């Protein structure tokens, strides 16, 4: 009995800290995965265009220095560093949110389709927000490149979480067949 988990009357509070820790761990790792995928994607695009780190510099110049897209023509290392930090934090938050949804799905497989639709809606809203708020910025980077980056990041984060939770797909299939 030494290795048995602590049992409480509600059986909830003894599990909460470990579940919370698991969500945070999954979320941080999923967020890092998504951020790296997007960073590598735009590094490839920028390298192919002959301007390494141009995209994070452009985004940082527009967001932090309030320059117009046309004025942000050179790469600023400090801005690249600052934007990369913001990019990382945003993906960490998104990763934790997605991990929480994933853990909720594991507890309630019948919510799988609803959570998947919420995630797709979230991706559409983020892309729509990007296009609506800073259309010239999305135009300068390329709307297709941004959409593909979002798709790659979402797929990488989802596949990462599936590897961490191998029974999740079987549960989703079971919930869909019910």
Could you list the pLDDT tens digit for every one of the 178 residues in the chain?
444 444 444 444 444 779 899 999 999 999 999 999 999 999 999 999 999 999 999 999 988 998 888 888 899 999 999 999 999 999 999 999 989 988 888 878 777 777 778 778 877 887 787 777 777 888 889 888 988 998 999 999 989 998 998 887 777 777 667 7
Identify which of 102, 121, 120 has the alpha carbon closest to the alpha carbon of residue 23.
102
Residue ranges in 134-177 assigned as alpha helix (H): 135-141, 143-164, 168-177
Residue 164 lies in a domain: yes
Sequence-separated (6 or more) residues with CB below 8 Å from residue 20: none
Please give the residue range of the domain that contains residue 86. Answer: 21-177
The per-residue pLDDT for 31 is: 97
pTM: 0.80
- The total number of residues shown for the chain amounts to 178
The per-residue pLDDT for 107 is: 78
CA pair distance 160, 91, nearest whole angstrom: 14
Residue 155 lies in a domain: yes
Residue 101 lies in a domain: yes
Q: Domain tally for the chain?
A: 1
Residue 168 lies in a domain: yes
The position carrying tokens 């048995």 is 4
CA pair distance 96, 146, nearest whole angstrom: 22
């Amino acid at each position: 009995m030494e290795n048995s988990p602590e049992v409480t009357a509600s059986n909830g509070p003894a599990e909460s800290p470990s579940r919370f820790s698991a969500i945070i761990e999954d979320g941080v790792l999923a967020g890092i995965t998504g951020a790296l995928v997007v960073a590598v994607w735009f590094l490839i695009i920028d390298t192919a265009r002959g301007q390494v780190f141009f995209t994070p510099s452009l985004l940082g110049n527009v967001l932090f220095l309030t320059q117009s897209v046309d004025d942000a023509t050179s790469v600023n290392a400090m801005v690249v560093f600052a934007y990369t930090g913001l990019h990382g934090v945003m993906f960490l938050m998104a990763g934790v949110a997605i991990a929480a949804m994933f853990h909720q799905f594991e507890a309630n497989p019948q919510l799988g389709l609803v959570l998947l639709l919420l995630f797709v809606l979230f991706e559409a809203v983020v892309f729509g927000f990007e296009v609506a708020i800073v259309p010239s910025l999305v135009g300068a980077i390329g709307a297709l490149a941004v959409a593909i980056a979002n798709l790659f990041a979402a797929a990488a984060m989802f596949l990462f979480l599936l590897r961490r939770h191998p029974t999740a797909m079987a549960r989703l299939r079971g919930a869909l067949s019910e």
